[in-house]
């Protein structure tokens, strides 16, 4: 399960669509058809700069119908862990990039009668693929997108192909009560949220307060928001080694750099593949997989996103 097959992609086009957003079209390097992807899929690119390797996942904003290309949009993050700076500074048309087979941890519900999409900033990317899929279905769709005032035009252009009365853009300068957007939806409505961690907490918190059932709440956070924190040491009990986890890398990345390859899949704290038992020490949980009870028990953690509380943690690896 850890040996995802790799795809060879070539950068067909890379252009800035705003000072910090880059639109990248990736085509199949050998022109064989790419795996077909559903709405909400992501692709993990292997990026390399200054001998440092990064494996960052990006939502596939659009996929060509003839399976020849995927499109992603990447925000330059400051400070960058490497991936976004690499995409912004280094990649050029013609260059090849290795990628894992695409995955999907954020598919739309196939039984929903109405889809309410709420995104902020670059969190729009999975919803671009949603919009092109959902307009071919019977279901009602409404999108609320929050963005910086200076990027309003950029997002308006991105959303133009889907523009109907049901796409609303909100510049952050105007105060909007999120709760108002969540009220009085029919029973068959599903809510999807994508954006920065704080934004998602606000929207999902408001939805819980308004008694949305958890089976109708869907969210996806970007990997980037999980990365980094105070450095610590991870002791791998079975392997008998100690791994230093730097402030700009994840626990999983540090373990892999030490030559140990625990099972993992989404690297976003969502899928549950990298669940690891804790022998000693306290975790700082950042995943969406374990329940609050499991977080409190502190017996296991998702090593792709979570870190140690304190300077040492011992794992059953």
Partner 1 sequence: MLSPTIPSRPRYSPFALAPAARAHLIVAERSDALENQSVPTGDHAPLEFWAVSGDCRAPVGDTILNGVHTCHFRSASHLLSRLSYRLAIEAIGLHLYVIGTESFIWDVVKLAKQFGMNSDEYHLTHRGSEKRRVYCIHCKTMTDDVTTNIAICAGCGANLLVRDHFSKRLSAFMGVQVDAEVAGEVPAIEEVYP
Q: Is 160 in the site for partner 1 (CB under 8 A)?
A: no
Is residue 196 helix, strand or coil? coil
In the range 139-158, which residues lie near partner 1 by CB under 8 A?
Answer: none
d(Cα 283, Cα 98) in Å, to the nearest integer?
Answer: 32
Query: What token pair was written down for 47?
Result: 């990026």
User: How many Å is the maximal CA-CA distance in the chain?
Assistant: 60
Determine the Cα–Cα distance for residues 209 and 212; give it in Å rounded to an integer: 8
Span near partner 1 by CB under 8 A; candidates 11-19, 94-102, 204-212, 306-314: 204-212
Residues in 96-115 that interact with partner 1 by CB under 8 A? 111-114
| Residue from 165, 184, 240, 293 in contact with partner 1 (CB under 8 A) | 184
Report the relative pairing of strands 167-171 and 140-147 from DSSP bridges: parallel
Q: Is 192 among the residues that bind partner 1 (CB under 8 A)?
A: no
CB 73 within 8 A of CB 17: yes
The 3-state DSSP class for residue 182 equals: coil
Contact between 216 and partner 1 per CB under 8 A:
yes
Which residue in the set 65, 66, 177, 187 belongs to the binding site for partner 1 (CB under 8 A)?
A: 187
Regarding 297 and contact with partner 1 (CB under 8 A), the answer is no
Establish if 291 lies at the interface with partner 1 (CB under 8 A).
no
Q: Which residue has the tokens 């956070």?
A: 221
Q: Which stretch binds partner 1 (CB under 8 A): 31-39, 57-65, 165-173, 211-219?
A: 211-219
Contacts for 158 with CB less than 8 Å, ≥ 6 apart: 17, 73, 124, 128
Does position 219 interact with partner 1 (CB under 8 A)? The reply is no
Q: Which is nearer to partner 1, 33 or 213 (CB)?
A: 213
Q: Is 214 an interacting residue with respect to partner 1 (CB under 8 A)?
A: yes
Task: Indicate whether 180 belongs to the interface with partner 1 (CB under 8 A).
Answer: no
Stretch that binds partner 1, among 53-61, 66-74, 177-185, 287-295 (CB under 8 A): 177-185
Report the DSSP beta bridge partners of residue 144: 118, 168
Q: In residues, how long is the chain?
A: 317
Q: Should residue 117 be labelled a site residue for partner 1 when binding is judged by CB under 8 A?
A: no
Binding window for partner 1 (CB under 8 A); candidates: 18-26, 86-94, 185-193, 258-266: 185-193
Integer Cα distance of 30 and 297 in angstroms: 49
What residues does 11 pair with on adjacent strands?
A: 26
Q: Nearest distance from residue 190's CB to partner 1, in Å? A: 8
Which of 155, 212, 222, 232: binder of partner 1 (CB under 8 A)? 212
Tell me whether residue 256 is exposed, middle or buried, using C-beta atoms within 10 angstroms of its C-beta: 0 to 12, 13 to 18, 19 or more: middle
Give the nearer residue to partner 1 in terms of CB position, either 81 or 115: 115
The residues with which 120 forms a beta bridge, in sequence order, are 146
213 binds partner 1 (CB under 8 A): yes
Q: Which residues make up the interface to partner 1 (CB under 8 A)?
A: 111-114, 182-189, 210-216
């Amino acid at each position: 399960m850890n040996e995802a097959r790799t795809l060879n992609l070539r950068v067909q086009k890379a252009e800035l669509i705003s000072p910090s957003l880059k639109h990248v079209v990736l085509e199949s390097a050998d022109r064989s058809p790419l795996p077909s992807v559903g709405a909400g899929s992501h692709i993990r690119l292997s990026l390399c700069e200054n001998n440092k390797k990064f494996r960052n996942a990006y939502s596939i904003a659009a996929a060509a119908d003839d399976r020849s290309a995927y499109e992603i949009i990447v925000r330059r993050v400051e400070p960058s862990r490497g991936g976004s700076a690499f995409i912004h500074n280094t990649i050029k048309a013609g260059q090849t990039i290795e990628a894992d087979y695409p995955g999907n941890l954020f598919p739309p519900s196939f039984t929903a009668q109405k889809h309410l999409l709420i995104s902020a900033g670059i969190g729009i990317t999975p919803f671009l693929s949603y919009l092109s899929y959902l307009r071919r279905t019977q279901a009602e769709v409404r999108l609320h997108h929050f963005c910086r005032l200076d990027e309003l035009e950029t997002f308006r252009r991105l959303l133009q192909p889907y523009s109907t009365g049901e796409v609303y853009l909100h510049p952050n300068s105007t105060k909007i009560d999120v709760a108002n957007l969540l009220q009085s939806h029919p029973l068959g409505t599903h809510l999807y949220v994508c954006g920065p961690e704080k934004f998602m907490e606000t929207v999902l918190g408001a939805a819980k307060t308004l008694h949305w059932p958890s089976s109708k709440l869907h969210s996806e956070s970007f990997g980037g928001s999980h990365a980094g924190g105070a450095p610590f040491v991870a002791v791998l009990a079975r392997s008998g080694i100690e791994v230093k986890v730097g402030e700009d890398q994840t626990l999983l990345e540090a373990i892999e750099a030490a030559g140990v390859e625990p099972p993992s899949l989404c690297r976003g704290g969502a899928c549950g593949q990298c669940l690891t038992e804790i022998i000693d020490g306290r975790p700082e949980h950042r995943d969406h997989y374990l329940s609050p009870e499991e977080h409190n028990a502190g017996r296991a953690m998702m090593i792709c996103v979570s870190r140690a509380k304190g300077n040492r943690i011992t794992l059953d690896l």
